[in-house]
């Protein structure tokens, strides 16, 4: 696809970011817009590879191969190369409901499985996708599309995060009348309050909500199902219910001193900053980290986001603790192409901390042993760990003599999520996994007929792109169930 010899003629050009000293002064988008010539050449690098793994959407031994949405990437790249951006967006829309979301937050599983990436740098699929989306929104070319036919079916979607929005959008396009219940004051879930604005501008989320509303989707906010809205009313007023409540239960610290003031979960910290930004447009967004020594516990994307927000709030210092050892610089033998490459990456938050404080904030193979303070946290005691096989499982073993005390005025726990909150599933008496995830059949239907589940609530904590895929697929399954359709 694209230009036959493009992959031999053009080098990969990464997305360009705003200078660190500039971007840490606000919450505006991290990235600089790409120009048409660059994107055209990057799309030309897409090979006519015969069997494309970039859109496989498969998992093998727990590893991902290609885009879970099944985007028709070679065809999209060909359209971009030939200057048909609107056609590329239409092609992408066949499989992808919200490219403006993943363009900012997706780790680009597709690029990890790009055939060109088997022997050199892969195609910049994510940047091309972003250019297409930005072009369409900037040119005001995305118009509401109301369904031509309504089925008469009414479906309630509980939760308006990525899976809920994808589910509602798909069901609405298939002709159902959809009502989305969101317990927060704004739709969007994780997209609105869990991902910082510099990674995903909230205008993108609000634009999509506006379009969906004009297409006929009804959003009901400040309404928590099971409390503000009764389960009985929900199941009696709607023909089906799709649960897309995410996996919001965070893993908690369990060490001496964990109850001290000044210790917060990542979602509390990030949500408060986002709300403050909405309230007054303040660059400070709460200023909870201003002048403080900040310790972030957890090395994933959420931990990186905590660093980015803390830096913008004026933190005095930032340290990030990661219990795992550093990933390799290149693929290991047990992580071959086309699996997603598990290699060391330095993300925007770490780059910002390095620029400001002169060193990488990450401390690998390190865990918290104790938190000290008199009423309020004052320091964190860490210890290095060595991973060893014990009782058939790899476990982190503390290394005596490696204890270290780190000054801390604010500790942010970003240790990941353990599963869904159980209130709603308990009220519905649904069958769940030990972690609380809703057990479903292959058609996303739970143990209670016409109650479906999708996204993190079904598969456990995962990526936004997987949540979009789940929401879309659950909607299709729900539509088939309600309208007696066969495969």
* Region label for 166, one of left (φ > 0), alpha (ψ between -120 and 50) or beta (otherwise): alpha
Give just the sign of the alpha carbon dihedral 430, 447, 438, 186: negative
- Residue 283 pLDDT > 60: no
What is the average per-residue pLDDT within 147-155? 94
> Domain 6-138 is of which CATH architecture?
Orthogonal Bundle (1.10)
Q: With respect to CATH, is domain 154-248+418-483 assigned 3.50.50.60?
A: yes
- Residue 185: the pLDDT is 95
Straight-line distance from the first to the last Cα atom of the chain, in angstroms, rounded to the nearest whole number = 31
Q: What is the pLDDT of residues 40-77, one digit of tens each?
A: 999 999 998 888 999 998 888 878 899 999 999 999 99
> Domain 252-415 is of which CATH architecture?
3-Layer(bba) Sandwich (3.50)
- Residue 202 pLDDT > 60: yes
Strand pairing category for 404-407 and 249-250: unpaired
- Residue 446 pLDDT > 60: yes
- Residue 431 pLDDT > 80: yes
Identify the three-state secondary structure at position 415.
coil
What is the average per-residue pLDDT within 13-39? 95
Strand pairing category for 366-373 and 218-220: unpaired
Q: What is the pLDDT of residues 365-419, one digit of tens each?
A: 999 999 999 999 999 999 999 999 888 888 999 999 999 999 999 999 999 999 9
DSSP H or E stretch at residue 400: none
The pair phi, psi for residue 474, each rounded to 5°, is -65, -35
- Residue 394: the pLDDT is 87
Looking at the chain, the whole-number percentage of residues with pLDDT higher than 90 is 87
- Residue 277: the pLDDT is 87
β-pair partners for 366: 384
Tokens standing for 318? 């930032």
- Residue 3: the pLDDT is 84
If you ran DSSP here, which 8-state letter would residue 336 be given? -
Q: What is the pLDDT of residues 121-134, one digit of tens each?
A: 999 999 999 999 99
What is the average per-residue pLDDT within 93-121? 94
> How many Cα atoms are found within 13 Å in the side-chain-facing hemisphere of 198?
28
CA distance 273 to 255: 26
CA distance 105 to 465: 9
Q: Is there a shared CATH topology between the 154-248+418-483 domain and the 252-415 domain?
A: yes
Looking at the chain, the whole-number percentage of residues with pLDDT higher than 70 is 98
Q: What is the pLDDT of residues 295-352, one digit of tens each?
A: 999 999 999 999 999 999 999 999 999 999 999 999 999 999 999 999 999 999 999 9
Identify the three-state secondary structure at position 204.
helix
- Residue 308: the pLDDT is 97
Q: What is the pLDDT confidence band of residue 282, given thresholds at 50, 70 and 90?
A: low
- Residue 62: the pLDDT is 79
- Residue 280 pLDDT > 80: no
Q: What is the pLDDT of residues 234-258, one digit of tens each?
A: 999 999 999 999 998 999 899 999 9
CA distance 355 to 343: 22
Question: How far lies 272's CA from each of 26, 38, 144, 291, 308, in Å?
Answer: 16, 38, 32, 18, 14
Tokens standing for 234? 């929900």
DSSP states of 350-414: HHHHHHHHSS--EE-SEEEEEEEESSBEEEEEEEEEEEEEETTEEEEEE-TT--EEEE-SEEEE-
- Residue 285: the pLDDT is 52
C-beta atoms surrounding 479 within 10 Å: 20
- Residue 281 pLDDT > 70: no
User: Any idea where the domains of the chain sit in the sequence?
Assistant: 6-138, 154-248+418-483, 252-415
């Amino acid at each position: 696809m694209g230009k036959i010899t493009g992959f031999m003629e053009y080098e990969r050009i990464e997305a360009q970011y705003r200078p660190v000293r500039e971007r840490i002064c606000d919450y505006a988008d991290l990235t600089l817009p790409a120009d048409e010539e660059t994107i055209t050449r990057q799309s030309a690098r897409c090979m006519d590879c015969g069997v494309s793994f970039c859109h496989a959407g498969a998992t093998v031994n727990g590893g991902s191969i290609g885009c879970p949405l099944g985007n028709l990437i070679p065809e999209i790249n060909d359209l971009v190369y030939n200057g048909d951006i609107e056609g590329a967006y239409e092609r992408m829309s066949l499989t992808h409901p919200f490219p403006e979301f993943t363009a900012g937050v997706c780790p680009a599983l597709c690029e990890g499985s790009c055939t060109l990436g088997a022997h050199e740098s892969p195609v910049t699929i994510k940047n091309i996708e972003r250019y297409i989306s930005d072009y369409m929104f900037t040119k005001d070319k995305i118009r509401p599309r109301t369904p031509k036919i309504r089925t008469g079916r009414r479906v309630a979607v509980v939760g308006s995060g990525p899976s809920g929005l994808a589910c509602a959008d798909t069901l609405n396009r298939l002709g159902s009348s959809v009502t989305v219940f969101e317990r927060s004051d704004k739709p969007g879930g994780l997209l609105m309050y869990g991902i910082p604005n510099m990674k995903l501008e909230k205008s993108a989320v609000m634009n999509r909500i506006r379009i969906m509303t004009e297409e006929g989707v009804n959003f009901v906010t400040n309404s928590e199902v099971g409390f503000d809205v009764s389960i009985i009313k929900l199941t009696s007023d709607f023909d089906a219910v799709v649960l897309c409540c995410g996996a919001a239960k965070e893993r908690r610290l369990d060490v001496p001193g964990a109850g001290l003031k000044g210790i917060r979960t990542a979602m509390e910290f990030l949500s408060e900053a986002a709300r403050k930004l909405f309230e007054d447009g303040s660059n400070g967004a709460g200023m909870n980290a201003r002048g403080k020594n900040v310790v972030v516990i957890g090395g994933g994307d959420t931990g990186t986001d905590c660093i980015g927000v803390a830096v913008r709030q004026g933190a005095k210092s930032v340290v990030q603790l990661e219990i795992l050892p550093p990933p390799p610089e290149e693929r290991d033998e047990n992580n071959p192409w086309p699996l997603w490459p598990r290699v060391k990456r330095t993300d925007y938050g770490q780059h910002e901390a390095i620029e400001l404080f002169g060193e990488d904030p990450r401390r690998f193979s390190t865990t918290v042993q104790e938190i000290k303070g008199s009423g309020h946290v004052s320091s964190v005691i860490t210890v290095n760990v060595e991973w060893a096989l014990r009782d058939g499982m790899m476990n982190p073993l503390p290394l005596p003599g490696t204890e270290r005390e780190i000054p801390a005025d604010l500790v942010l726990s970003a240790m990941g999520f353990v599963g869904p909150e159980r209130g709603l599933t308990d009220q519905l008496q649904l069958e769940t996994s030990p972690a609380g995830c809703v057990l479903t059949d292959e058609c996303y239907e739970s143990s209670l007929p016409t109650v479906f589940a999708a996204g993190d609530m079904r598969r456990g904590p995962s990526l936004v792109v997987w949540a979009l895929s789940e929401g879309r697929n659950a909607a299709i399954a729900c539509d088939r169930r309600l309208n007696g359709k066969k495969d």
